[in-house]
Chain A
Amino acid sequence: MSKRLPVSISDILKAHSRVKQNVHHTPVVTNSTFDDRFGRKFYFKCENLQKTGSFKARGALNAVTKLCEEDKTVSGVVTHSSGNHGQALAWAAKTMGLKCAVIAPNNSPAVKLEAIKGYGADVVLCEPTPTARQQTCDKVSKERGYYFVPPYDHYDVIAGQGTMAVEFLEQVPQLDAILVPTSGGGMVSGIAIAGKSIKPDLKVFIVEPQGKDVERCLQAGDRLWPNPPRFLNTIADGIRLQQLGHITWPIILELVEKQVFSVTNDEIIEGMKFAFERMKLVVEAASGAGIAAAMSDKMCNLDDNIKHVGVILCGGNTDIHHLPWYQ
């Protein structure tokens, strides 16, 4: 693995010791019906059962803990988030005794905003565009002297998310591949670095909502997305960003498979419904995307030597009063 990568397996192992006490070692579930239907062995990592209801707790806690180690004067942290990172940061800040402000789009699910406030953080609403998120965030950071912890483009956040792969490979050493729903790319970067350090042949695949177009970018080796950055039109509110991050991009380019799983809203819903009905798990749409990728023709047509496939159920923070299959 390239030494030029800004996050190493050693950073991820250190992150693991930092967060271990406070984050859940989440279970891996299997489903024989699913395996029979789709012809491989699938392993679902239940980050929907993680503290704050998504994997984001790992990256947030690692970043905040490391911040407190390095700067004894820090008073608070701030971020912009569609919800899950905001909730995770609010929780991490509370765990470490810091203040927290979260900038969230004004169309975020109410349940996510309430959860953020529930951890004692301040919510500041903004227009639902990536640019508005960043600008409002910069303003609040300056005004309150809070340290900015971004949702994905940060080494300590990436390292935190990577701890998921350390656990997953301990729980299922025979994994050949992992499917990772992707927005900014913090989780897939962390998983790729950790996963491929432990098991170089491991294949890490991105799962994206239709319209993200990552496969074309990876094959060209070029950030082909238009500017300014946009949100995709997808029911998966956790993976709406079209562009990968700037720090995550080179990591992904180097380590992640060029084939990308692209899923539609209907496929996402089918994936979610499988989790609800057959696995009795509440998952949000981004996780439904991961399951949909596992159910896809593309997965079916993958090489037979990919026998054991991990799927990250990245979160469970869905509004149960507005489930997407109800009109």
Chain B
Amino acid sequence: MTKISIADVLQAHYRIKPFLPKTPVLTSSTFDAMHGRKFYFKAENMQKTGSFKVRGALNAIIKLQESGEPVKGVTTHSSGNHGQALAWAASKCGLKCNVITPHDTPNIKIRSIEGYGASVTLCEPNPTSREETCQRVTMETGYSFVPSSDHYDIMAGQGTIALEFLDEVPNLDAILIPASKGGMAAGIAITAKSLKPNIKIFVVEPKGKDLERCLIAGERLWPNPPQFVDTIADGIRIQQLGKLTWPILLKLAEKEVFTADNEEIMRGMKFAFQRMKVVIEGASGAAVAAAMSDRLRKMDDSIKNVGVILCGGNVDIDQLPWYKGK
């Protein structure tokens, strides 16, 4: 029934491998001692362009070029990381690029997008404005639209994270994955469950996404029109899962969802900065917070080896969240 399989992910891996070296897997004996299991942190913050998004972007662009149809350029709408990734991937593949992004996107993300040679079009900070502005620009330029998440080629690209991760740490029992629309979580779920059916896929969300209730009900309970969640993790603000990612996660993800509020996200970020000496953004802080949570602590002892996706490191270091209000 699902139109994406492990074969798509393996093909994606073959396409993007020449461009992207493997990202490291980090461990912290301090963290393990504090939280009673073995944790493995996949450092996608150290990926080209500072987040995992480049995997899906590259796979989508290369596949477009393989299709034989003429491609002048690509457009997208993005909170920042996908925009940056697409800009970089487009330049590597000789294409132009236009990125639509909310006007409150951190400056560093906007500068990076332009630094890769792409144009930036600003829109209002809500999902509807993003989509409408993007449709307009796509029509005007004649470029091809590459979405940030809800697309099989994007999911297949993100799934390559799991190929690498399970290659390095074959005995992972569970993976904690931050989710916005769910492209990464879906891609990893398809891949990991194909390679290791007993592995548990746990989604990590910012408070207000309410995903657990939806998964348990088997229904998209979110209000319309689509909203942003109020969270400091600017990369995972979208409340609803995508239309294509939803059935995949409904089938493959655990019903228990890890929820992180702003305090917990900050605590997760601070651990990474202070003890692991790596820079991570809010979404990754949420994943670390999930790893630190009581909920995980109380889980079955058979979950011995836990993977944590440090999905990105594009945080504005001039506006780190623990300085606000000082």
Contact = CB atoms under 8 A, between A and B. Distances in A.
A27 B24 contact: yes
Contacts of B270: 320
Nearest to B323: A326
B277 A320 contact: no
Nearest to B270: A320
Contacts of A276: 279, 317
Given A320-B322, A326-B323, A111 B277 contact: no
A268 to B, nearest CB: 15
A282 B323 contact: no
Contacts of B274: 111, 282, 320
Nearest to B280: A280
A282 B322 contact: no
B279 A282 contact: yes
A243 interface: no
B215 interface: no
Scoring B43, B317, B322 by chain A CB atoms within 10 A of each residue's CB, the highest score goes to: B317
Contact of B273 (A29, A279, A282, A326): A282
Contacts of A29: 46
B24 A282 contact: no
Which size bracket describes the interface of B in this complex? Answer: 20 to 34
Contact of B46 (A280, A282, A321, A326): A280
29 contacts: A27-B24, A29-B46, A48-B277, A49-B276, A53-B277, A111-B274, A273-B317, A276-B279, A277-B108, A277-B279, A279-B46, A280-B43, A280-B45, A280-B46, A280-B50, A280-B278, A280-B279, A280-B280, A280-B313, A281-B277, A282-B273, A282-B277, A282-B279, A283-B277, A320-B274, A323-B317, A323-B320, A325-B318, A326-B323
Given A27-B24, A48-B277, 7 more contacts: A53-B277, A277-B279, A280-B280, A282-B273, A283-B277, A321-B322, A326-B318
Interface in B273-295: 273-274, 276-280
Nearest 6 interchain pairs by C-beta = A316-B277, A280-B313, A282-B277, A280-B279, A280-B45, A48-B277
Interface in B195-244: none
Interface string A277-313: 1011111000000000000000000000000000000
Interface of A: 27, 29, 48-49, 53, 111, 273, 276-277, 279-283, 316, 320-321, 323, 325-326
A29 B22 CA distance: 12
A320 B318 contact: no
Contacts of A273: 317
A277 B317 contact: yes
Residue among B278, B320, B322 having the largest count of chain A Cβ atoms under 10 Å: B278
Contacts of A282: 273-274, 277-279
Contacts of B317: 273, 276-277, 323, 325
Contacts of B280: 280
Interface string B13-54: 000000000001000000000000000000101100010000
Contacts of B322: 320-321
Interface string B228-272: 000000000000000000000000000000000000000000100
A46 to B, nearest CB: 8
B273 A320 contact: yes
Interface of B: 24, 43, 45-46, 50, 108, 270, 273-274, 276-280, 313, 317-318, 320, 322-323
Contacts of A316: 277
Contacts of A111: 274
Contacts of A277: 108, 279, 317
Contacts of B318: 325-326
A276 B50 CA distance: 11
Contacts of A323: 317, 320
A326 B320 CA distance: 10
Nearest to A326: B323
Contacts of B24: 27
Nearest to B24: A27
Contacts of A53: 277
A33 B320 CA distance: 24
From A27, A29, A282, A325, residue with most partner B Cβ within 10 Å: A282
B320 A49 contact: no
Contacts of A321: 322-323
Contact of B277 (A49, A325, A326): A49
Contacts of B323: 321, 326
A144 B322 CA distance: 41
Contacts of B50: 280
A321 B277 CA distance: 14
A325 B317 CA distance: 9
Contacts of A325: 317-318
A323 B323 CA distance: 10
Given A276-B317, A323-B317, A281 B278 contact: yes
A283 B318 CA distance: 15
Nearest to B29: A51
Nearest to A47: B277
A273 B322 CA distance: 17
A320 B323 CA distance: 10
A283 B313 CA distance: 15
A117 to B, nearest CB: 15
A325 B50 CA distance: 21
Contacts of A281: 277-279
A326 B46 CA distance: 24
A320 B270 CA distance: 8
B278 A320 contact: no
Contacts of B320: 320, 323
Contacts of A49: 276-277
Nearest to A111: B274
A327 to B, nearest CB: 11
A279 B48 CA distance: 10
Contacts of A280: 43, 45-46, 50, 278-280, 313
A240 B146 CA distance: 52
